[in-house]
Chain A
């Protein structure tokens, strides 16, 4: 148990669907992150939030829309995805935003049909 919980664990969606991924951390951290993990590739940073404010968008397509209502919760809203977006989406948190020790959730395995 890392203190970071992601739901759902698995998601299958069509290209026209709208779905949301949820992340919650119980660690009192101030920074939260979305990463994309594809097979045999490095983790790709998507978004960073610090004290609820987005501080980094790593050139992510607009079909991915993050939301951070408070320091404990992070969402990733998905709309009109492509099959190449199929991957494991990992949420992480850290005490501050300077990428110190990250605590990861178990991820959402997303399949886009």
Chain B
């Protein structure tokens, strides 16, 4: 099966930067997704990487290294509303999607 690892919890201060790492081992690779899920709400799409490098979208950036099986989601200028769970998901060579267990980020004032 597929193996997706990400830290369980992270805490940071408002205005700071947090980097959420995700490592994966899959049979083939057809892209990596990041989703944000606030407590009691639907997961929502944040980013998609299929080629190596950094994708920037406002305060959020996502990086991918296919050779290392590694991605990170970078959250800059943290705001209280960024407190949520962040899910890493990888699509394998058969286009099957596997999720990590999620990283709960807590932003403190």
Contacts and interface: CB of A to CB of B under 8 A. Distances in A.
Partners in one complex: yes
Interface of A: 2, 4, 40-43, 45, 90, 98-99, 101-107
A98 B99 contact: no
**SS of A interface (majority):** loop
Contacts of B18: none
Contacts, number: 45
A106 B4 contact: no
A97 to B, nearest CB: 8
Contact of A42 (B40, B96, B98): B98
Contacts of A4: 42
A4 B43 CA distance: 11
A10 to B, nearest CB: 10
B42 A90 contact: yes
B45 A43 contact: no
B60 interface: no
A107 B44 CA distance: 12
B89 to A, nearest CB: 8
Contacts of A41: 101
B97 A45 contact: yes
B99 A104 contact: no
